[in-house]
Structure 1
Amino acid sequence: MTCEHKRSMGIISSYSPSSPLSRLLCYTVLTILILAGIIALILYLVYHPSKPHFVVSGVAVYQLTNTNTTSPVTSTAITASLQFTLLSRNPNRRSSILYDRLSSYVTYKNQAITQPAPLPVLFLEKQGEVAMSPVMGGSAPLPVSADVAAGLMGDEAYGVVGLRLVVIGRMRYKSGPFRSGWYSIYVRCDVLIALRKGCSGQVPLLGAPECAVDV
């Protein structure tokens, strides 16, 4: 074997993966990755936020009646004008919440009876609470099925009407120096109200369970 060949073999072996320098480099990179993972896990556990809470605290009904429409064809519709008082609470001690592009509407038996109403941008401090009172609906009736129209007449005659308030939009968290991306939010609030035909104004709530929140 020539001297040149021996020298070349020595150079190659000095940079082989089994050399002390290579092993030290691998251990250093592995240690950094493990520490970064531990730090990320700690930050996640410390700052990971919980979903906001929503509950309906009041309902006012200004109009909720069946209407027959004749354009373009004869059909049934519901004319509704309602105001919900909705409380949103931030349960997090380390994260504030920003709501954006919110809108709300009301459904009866899974059919919308109001058009979506826009809500303002809202900011919730840590463990803070904010109230929203959107007025939804108006003079324009929304077409519904005959079964839904008949169901509303029967519920008003009985004196108990079940409604659902829906709020959609987006939200983000702020935890110290960290900001999350935007999340879609979908809130569903099922309420029972004491209502008879011809009544107007604030109506009694027969039950106001916490709303379902999907983020």
Structure 2
Amino acid sequence: MPGSRGVAGGPRARRVAVLRCVVAALVVTVLLAGLAVLVFWLVVRPKPIEYTVASAVVRHFNITVPPGGGGTAALNATFYLTLAADNPNRRLSMRYESLELYVHYGSGEEAPQLAVANVPDFRQPSRNETRLEVRAVARSAPVADRAAQELEHDRAAGEVGVEVRVRARVCFKVGLVRSRHYDMRAVCSPVVIGLSPTSARSFRSVPCDVAIS
């Protein structure tokens, strides 16, 4: 009957109308979010953060090999590193809530870790280069036989090549707006450090590859 069809179709029509409103609201939200991101980029124009190993010195470099060839060799050394963190942005400041520095021998995932250091939290203003003086100590760091032989060769040659890795937890701030937290990673390689007391004068700065996710 016509009356029955009208009653049955009423709720369905309302559900369709509500669904259309929800879809329209989602589309508008996405468009507004995209517009906000575009406006933010046009206003802020963020530039990449740059990291550089500006200076590097190693002291008390010593490899201990167990007598008779048994056991694992160990490295003792103190790495004094200066990291230059450059924020070239005009309106964007940064807050580092954690920063860890690792010294590895060689490169790649299998490169043995020699030393680690933690840097206290700090804030970096816009258009600022912050220099971080880091002391990373290797205390009986275990190294495999092959790595120990290569380190002995490096000591005889008077210089050692390492890879410096940085991991940090950062957030960005523009005016009163603060972003969520991001993971920042930097890899600096090869960092060739002379072992003589005067080697710091001839050290050449090493730029780092930086990724933020």
TM-score normalised per structure 2: 0.76
- Secondary structure at the residue paired with 1:207? coil
Separation of aligned partners in 1, 2:54 and 2:118: 20
Instruction: Report the Cα distance in structure 1 between the residues aligned to 2:30 and 2:154, rounded to whole angstroms.
Output: 62
Larger Rg over CA atoms:
1
| Identity percentage of aligned residues | 25
Structure 1 partner of 2:176: 177
Q: CA deviation at 1:157?
A: 2.0
Q: In structure 2, give the amino acid aligned to 1:103.
A: E
Residue number in structure 2 paired with 1:203: 200
Alignment of 1:54-203 (within 5 A): 54-69=51-66, 74-109=71-106, 110-114=111-115, 116-137=116-137, 140-190=139-189, 191-195=191-195, 199-200=196-197, 203=200
Compared CA separation, residues 187 and 37, structure 1 to 2 (3 A) = closer
CA distance in 2, matches of 1:141, 1:119: 22
Question: Which blocks of at least 5 consecutive residues in structure 2 are unaligned?
Answer: 15-20
Contact 1:160 1:194 in 2 (8 A): yes
Q: In 2, distance between residues paired with 1:156 and 1:95?
A: 44
Over 3 Å counting, the alpha-carbon distance change for 1:43 and 1:119 in structure 2 is same
SS of alignment partner, residue 149 of structure 1: helix
Q: Distance in 2 between matches of 1:134 and 1:31?
A: 49
Structure-2 change in CA distance of 1:214 and 1:205 (3 Å): farther
| Whole-angstrom CA distance in 1 between matches of 2:145 and 2:152 | 11
Q: Does 1:43 align with 2:29?
A: no
Measure the CA separation in 1 of the matches of 2:56 and 2:27.
58
**When the two structures are aligned, how many residues end up with a matched partner?**
200
What do residues 175-208 of structure 1 show as CA deviations (whole Å, max 9, x unaligned)?
223211111122222212233xxx3476245432
From the two aligned structures, give the one with the greater helix fraction: 2
* TM-score for both structures, normalised by structure 1: 0.75
Q: Give the residue type in structure 2 aligned to 1:101.
A: S
Does the Cα contact within 8 Å between 2:58 and 2:193 map onto a contact in 1? no
